[in-house]
Chains A and B, each alone.
Chain A
Amino acid sequence: MADVTVDARNLQCPMPVLKISQAMKDLSPGQSVELVATDRGALSDIPAWASDMGYSLKEQFERDGEFHFVVEKS
């Protein structure tokens, strides 16, 4: 289970990336955020952002038309 959940459902680009980056800044290394989004752009944007930031994308799945991303701060 992630330490924090961020709800970015129904929000468009660039909000999912902005929201997860804001949540991430309050976390310590080893903690993780679960982002829930409906923006299809997040499917490429979140993995790209996490990889560029040096964070690890622990999990990514789709449930009921919503995209979930679990990103761990390293």
Chain B
Amino acid sequence: MADETGADRGGAGADKMVIIAASGDLDKAWPVLILATTGAAYGMEVTVFFTFWGLLVLKKPGVGITGSDWRQKMLSVMAKGTPDHLPLSRLNFAGMGPWMMKGLADDKNVASIQELLGLARDMGVKLWPCQMTMDLMGLTEDDLIDGLDEPAGAGSAISLMKEASIELFI
């Protein structure tokens, strides 16, 4: 993948970067995707593993109540997710905070979460949903955005991190 990202150092010897994205907050999803795309611009083979609330960043816009268990359904209403509805970790104020933040980002030409997700996919960044979190929350692959890699687990993440030169937990 690395040779598709603009670097000359692709192939087996490419540096690897792994990000564990465990937060569904806008102010965490932003640095995750900014660092992932920049890593790809550096010719690194980048994988982002979306787990727990981080999985909500990958939820397809328009997907409503998910899961079969009443608790899964309630959680899917309480924590809606999708790239365009992420809350702020602080000063959320029932959506006022993110609304102001996204308005500012738009005025200042900061790329949105959706744009960065698209760029990440175009640049060959691997986006891994956590299978266990999908099962826990009752999310299927149809509930998630297109262009993701196969769901994986902690073992795959550890195997990758053992070889990676940059590992981040955000």
Contact = CB atoms under 8 A, between A and B. Distances in A.
Nearest to B38: A14
Q: Is the interface on chain A under 10, 10 to 19, 20 to 34, or 35 or more residues?
A: 10 to 19
A21 B110 contact: no
Interface string B71-82: 000000000000
A24 B8 CA distance: 10
Interface in B92-140: 108-111, 119, 123
B142 to A, nearest CB: 30
Nearest to B122: A22
Contacts, number: 47
Interface in A1-35: 10-15, 17-18, 20-22, 24-25
Name the prevailing secondary structure of the B interface residues.
loop
A52 interface: yes
B43 A53 contact: yes
Given A18-B38, A52-B42, A53-B42, A12 B6 contact: no
A62 B107 CA distance: 24
> Which of A11, A15, A20 has the largest count of B CB atoms less than 10 A from its CB?
A15
B23 interface: no
Interface of A: 10-15, 17-18, 20-22, 24-25, 49, 52-54
